[in-house]
A and B are shown apart, each in its own frame.
Chain A
Amino acid sequence: MKRFSVFLLTIFVVLCSCKSQKEHEITNPANKPWDSILATAKGKTVVMNMYQGFKKGNNYMNEYVIPTLQKEYGITLKIVSGQGKEIVNNVMAEKESGSAKGQIDLCWINGETFYQLMQIEGLYGPYAEKLPNAKYIDFTDPIIKYDFQTEVKGYETPWSKSSFIVITDTARVKKIPVTMQDFESYWKQNPGKFTLAQDFMGLTLLKSWLVEIAGGIKELEGPLDEAKYKKYSMQLWDFVNRNKKYFWKNGETFPASNVTISQMFGTGEVNFTFAFGNSDIDEKVEEGLYPKSAKGFILQAGSTYNTNYIGIPFNSANKEAAMVVCNFLISPEAQIKKSDLKMWGAGLVLDYSKLGANDEQKFNDLPKLIYGLPEVEIKQKSIKETEPKYMIRVDEDFRKYVIDAK
């Protein structure tokens, strides 16, 4: 009798879970026919969190995306400033308060933000591969499939690709250092002309050196390996500590943000700055911030190549409309506009071979970079991002072993 009761209970639990799974599949907006999604989306207002410190990006959104969405889909897109940790804090606060209808419907994220949002189950999905324009994206491409080595699994829509570039001024730096050894020699001969920021950009530089010490990205692939990390990171901190006396302000302080370093590069206070995105140099030269002798180069470890994405928070009140916006953002039309240097200059996230002849032509007709590196060269030297835990550890240990080490 007892066994029979357990059997009945098991059957009941299985049936219940089947029912809830089925309910989820039906209520999941991503499973609705696209026409129905479009109809639901019409007239809705979508609030998007994105970094607004980039003039061209703002122009692209305000002058092209917002009016087109309104005209073609009847969707009002509102952009609200916010990035990285602000997004995580917002979603976390809503999750803690049990808010079923969140304030944000879309957020521009990648890397550690995606990792953290997944950690707190803060994203809606999977939906990305069900979007009609997903056919233009190669989801098997490791740069797209994995966001900092965390599998995306349809929880983010890829928006553009970008690569880590070091920028110098060839008028001031005759022999460009590429390896860590080159940098060490350069710093000794030119003290005070180099620094790195305590932000994402500085951490990417440190991770690139970690990869160089490890002998290549293959050694650091996969989840964080504590033994490997300790072995290589100790060499990294030793390298930075023995050289920091040659850094800007004797390595006693590091700027909070790379924006400060870019300003100092412009004024000649330091000779190197960093960027994520190959078009950054052209844009800054055009603005008059960088000299025309500015040049981008790739470190010995390679160029960390990653994708940035759009995510939908778990409690977005307008998931259908948010999906329509995502679908539009990965349309060939919107992507080609975004790749245009005059618009944004972002790296195309679509698979070039999947574009139609007409779109291919439009893409080829775009103005080419003058100061940035050729895309082919970057792709040849591109490396994957390490797993997000590397970023967390490098961030903590940079403070522990370098900044706070007296």
Chain B
Amino acid sequence: MTSRFKNIIPFSMLVILAIIPLVLGIGYAVSYSFGLTGVLNNGFTLAHWQTALSNKDVLMSFGYSILLSFVSIVLCVGAAAFLAFYIGDKLQSGRLSYFLYLPMAFPALVAAFFFFQFLSNGGFLSRFFFQLGFIKTIDDFPNLVNDKYSIGILAAQFFLTLPVFVLLNLSIIKNENIAALKTLGASLGAKRSQILFRVTLPVMLKKSFPTVVLFFIFKLGTYEIPLLLGRSSPEVISVITVRKMQRYNLLDIPQGYVIAVLYAMLVFVLLTLSLKPSKINMNV
């Protein structure tokens, strides 16, 4: 009886604090998008879905967000693996670890402002090169924020996410006893490249995959950094959703909910495909 009671409490908390609000929130969004809720809605309609889906900005936004998140994750995972392999022991403690983990304390909005001040034409880096005489005017400094290639967004996201993946990799290296596996591979005659590509990387990627997917989803939904460092068009999903919900035309709000529902569906599909119970082994 006590054991059963012990299980009921956390399960109830999960249902009350996480599942019910999520289901109600999505239900409200679906209802709003079909015109069933909302002061200015007049009953069931497919018009908001038709308008949103025929709007190329919405589709571009999904494509752009997925691409941006993918590139951001690839950069972070690659760099984190490199750091963990080669200087992992130095990152466990000491000054280097302090500098590496410091970004984790930064809120996204602060990081966005910091990168804007650092990388913009009137920013610190531009002025530094101007003072050194590398550029004639600050306008000669390349576009690194609000730029075509989203460099500013990628840089800010890299800064914030890298420590998480370094920590994850260090944890996997330790828990999976990678050092012993490497020694075993070497003793069986494998070359360094074979050890890396046949042993180390597959183990690391397999173990970190669920976390990578979760961060991919997390990056899909980021708001402040793309808002401040991104371009007016294309916009990431969160920015276009907020724009539809918070601009001057109240009649655009249902379209914002359509995008929110589409985003929720995308996240659900990603989670279903990637986080099968057998794969959930975070090891963080």
Q: Is B40 a contact of A120 with CB atoms below 8 Å? A: yes
- Per a CB cutoff under 8 Å, which of B121, B147, B232, B249 touches A403? B232
Cβ of B256 to closest chain A Cβ, rounded Å: 11
Using a CB-CB cutoff of 8 Å, which residues 99-128 of chain A contact chain B? 112, 116, 119-120
Residue interface mask B220-263, A partner, CB < 8 A = 1: 00000001101111000000000001111110000000000000
Q: Does A365 contact B (CB under 8 A)?
A: no
The residue on A at minimum CB distance from B117 is: A263
Cβ-based interface call for A254 (8 A): yes
A238 at the interface (CB under 8 A from B): no
Contact of B231 among A95, A252, A391 (CB under 8 A): A252
| A243 in the interface (beta carbon within 8 A) | no
Of A119, A268, A269, A403, which contacts B40 at CB under 8 A? Answer: A119
CB-CB under 8 A for A96 and B122, given A249-B143, A253-B146, A403-B233:
no
In chain A, positions 362-403 with a C-beta closer than 8 Å to chain B are 388, 391-392, 395-396, 399, 403
Query: What distance in Å separates the Cβ of A230 from its nearest Cβ neighbour in chain B?
Result: 17
Q: A392-B248, A392-B249, A404-B233 are in contact. Are A96 and B39 (CB under 8 A)?
A: yes
Closest approach, in angstroms, between the C-beta of A396 and any C-beta of chain B? 6
Q: Judging by beta carbons under 8 Å apart, are B250 and A119 in contact?
A: yes
B123–chain A nearest beta-carbon distance, Å: 7
**B120: nearest residue on chain A (CB-CB)?**
A269
Q: Is the interface of A mostly helix, strand, loop or mixed?
A: helix
Q: Is the CB of A198 within 8 A of B232?
A: yes
CB distance B248 to A253 under 8 Å?
no
A256, B227: Cβ atoms under 8 Å? yes
The digit string for B105-129, where 1 denotes a CB below 8 A from any CB of A, is 0000000000010001111000000
* Minimal beta-carbon separation of A60 from chain B (angstroms): 26
- With A249-B146, A264-B122, A267-B122 as known contacts, state yes or no: A120 contacts B39, CB within 8 Å: yes
Q: Is the CB of B247 within 8 A of A95?
A: no
Min CB distance B62 to A, Å, is 16
Cα distance, A192 to B40, chains bound together (Å): 42
Given contacts A112-B248, A119-B250, A267-B122, contact A256 B37 (CB under 8 A): no
- Closest partner residue, chain A, to B37 (CB atom): A96
Chain A, Cβ-Cβ closest to B246: A85
Chain A nearest CB from B99 CB (Å) reads: 27
Give the contacts of A241-269 with B (CB-CB under 8 A).
Answer: 249, 252-256, 260, 263-264, 267-269
B27 at the interface (CB under 8 A from A): no
Whether A89 is near chain B, meaning CB under 8 Å from some CB there, is yes
Binary per-residue interface labels of chain B (123-157) against chain A in the complex, 1 for a CB within 8 Å, 0 otherwise: 10000000000000011000100111000000000
Q: Type the 1/0 row for A259-300, where 1 means its CB is closer than 8 Å to any CB of B.
A: 010011001110000000000000000000000000000000
Q: Does A92 contact B (CB under 8 A)?
A: yes
Q: Which residue of B lies closest to A92 (CB)?
A: B39
Chain B residue nearest in CB terms to A96: B39
Q: How far is the CB of B18 from chain A (nearest CB, A)?
A: 21
Inter-chain contact B247/A85, CB cutoff 8 Å:
yes
Residue of B nearest to A406 (CB): B233
Count A interface residues, CB 8 Å.
34
Asked whether A253 and B246 contact (CB < 8 A) given A120-B40, A264-B120, the answer is: no
CA distance A105 to B147 in the complex (A): 43
A350: chain B residues at CB < 8 Å are none
- Say if the beta carbon of A166 comes within 8 Å of chain B: no
Which residue in A253, A254, A395 is a CB contact (below 8 Å) of B249? A395
**Residues in A whose Cβ lies below 8 Å from that of B245:** 85, 89
CA distance A254 to B233 in the complex (A): 9
CB within 8 Å of A: which of B158-208?
Answer: none
A249 to nearest B CB, angstroms? 6
Do B39 and A268 touch (CB < 8 A)? no
For the complex, give the distance between the alpha carbons of A298 and B247 in Å: 27
Residue of A nearest to B146 (CB): A253
CA distance A196 to B205 in the complex (A): 45
Interface status of A211 (Cβ within 8 A of chain B): no
The 8 Å CB contact of A269, one of B39, B138, B231, is: B138
Which residues from A are CB-within-8-Å of B233? 253, 399, 403-404
Nearest chain-B residue to A86 (Cβ)?
Answer: B246
Return the chain B residue nearest A388 by Cβ. B248
Contacts of B148 in A (CB 8 A): 252
A252 to B146, CA, bound (A): 9
Q: Complex: how many Å from CA A290 to CA B232?
A: 26
Q: With A and B bound together, what is the CA distance between A396 and B243 in angstroms?
A: 11
Whether A396 touches B122, Cβ cut-off 8 Å, given contacts A119-B40, A253-B232, A404-B233, is no
| Contact call A395/B143, Cβ cutoff below 8 A | no
Contacts of B231 in A (CB 8 A): 252-253
What is the bound-complex CA distance between A254 and B230, given in angstroms? 10
Contact assessment for B246 and A268 in the assembled complex, using a CB-CB cutoff below 8 Å: no
* Structural contact, A267 and B248, CB atoms closer than 8 A: no
Q: Which residues of B contact A85 (CB under 8 A)?
A: 245-248
* A88 in the interface (beta carbon within 8 A): yes
A120 contacts across to B, CB distance below 8 A: 39-40, 250
Contact of A192 among B38, B139, B232 (CB under 8 A): B139
A-B contact pairs, 23 of them (CB 8 A): A85-B245, A85-B246, A89-B246, A92-B39, A96-B38, A112-B248, A198-B232, A249-B146, A252-B148, A253-B146, A253-B232, A253-B233, A255-B146, A256-B227, A260-B228, A264-B120, A267-B120, A267-B122, A268-B138, A388-B248, A392-B248, A392-B249, A396-B249
Task: Give the 4 A-B CB pairs with smallest separation, nearest first.
Answer: A267-B122, A269-B122, A253-B231, A85-B246
Binding site for B on A (CB under 8 A): 84-86, 88-89, 92, 95-96, 112, 116, 119-120, 192, 198, 249, 252-256, 260, 263-264, 267-269, 388, 391-392, 395-396, 399, 403-404
- Which B residues have a C-beta under 8 Å from some C-beta of A? 37-40, 57, 116, 120-123, 138-139, 143, 146-148, 227-228, 230-233, 245-250
Q: A253-B231, A253-B233 are in contact. List 9 more A-B contacts (CB 8 A).
A: A86-B246, A96-B37, A112-B248, A198-B232, A256-B232, A268-B122, A269-B120, A391-B248, A392-B249
